Amino acid sequence: MVTIVDYGMGNLGSIRNMLLRIGAESTITSDPADVRSAEKLILPGVGAFDRAMQNLEERGLVGPLNERVLRDGVPILGICLGMQLFCRGSEEGVRPGLGWIEADSVRFANDGPTPLKLPHMGWNTVSVRGEPPIFRDRFDDTRFYFVHTYHVRCADDRNVYATTTYGTEFHSSVGRDNIVGTQFHPEKSHRFGLKLLRNFVENY
């Protein structure tokens, strides 16, 4: 059973439908008790960093998430803003993040000779580093759907699972141990996203 955390920000139904397509049972919840009993967790996210952290705190979800992820080693997949919440903080706001990864969320630099169109929106390829389980048996032309203006910058390269280039190279998947995140949206990425979600369900 995969527990999709509902804190008011994210493509919850789309994620659940993709999990259904690979035969994985899931539930959508904002109940801290459900998080405390979760076997696997997905933290989605679309929107602003500070509002997301505020919502998690107001719903009493930060403590249960820390307990299950850090103490109990329950696997968690963060998607887009959900991955950014794993960081220490974000240039987008002032609230501290969950701090699970030594990283920060930063805005795309847009001071080059050809300004980037922001947000970065659409399909893009990823370059995988090493053999993280989330990318096991991937397609040769692996690509995913992105929608974001901020991206994660890891302090330790060992936490970088994949990179993508949009104006500059950025960290598009990060993680350590039971924690994994993607800047892209697997729930919008067709067969590539299905494969990645299957890897999360079966390999974590």
Residues identified as active-site: 80, 185, 187
Residue 174: what are its φ and ψ, rounded to 5°? Answer: -135, 165
Q: Report the alpha-carbon distance of residue 125 to residue 113 in Å, rounded.
A: 23
Quick one: residue 8, left, alpha or beta (phi over 0 = left, psi -120 to 50 = alpha)?
Answer: left
Residues of 100-130 as b/e, b for ≥16 C-beta within 10 angstroms?
bbebbbbebeeeeeeeeeeebeeebebebee
What tokens were used for 71? 């103490």
The CA-based angle 61-62-66, given to 5 degrees, is: 115
What tokens were used for 92? 């987008």
26 neighbors 4 (Cβ within 8 angstroms): yes
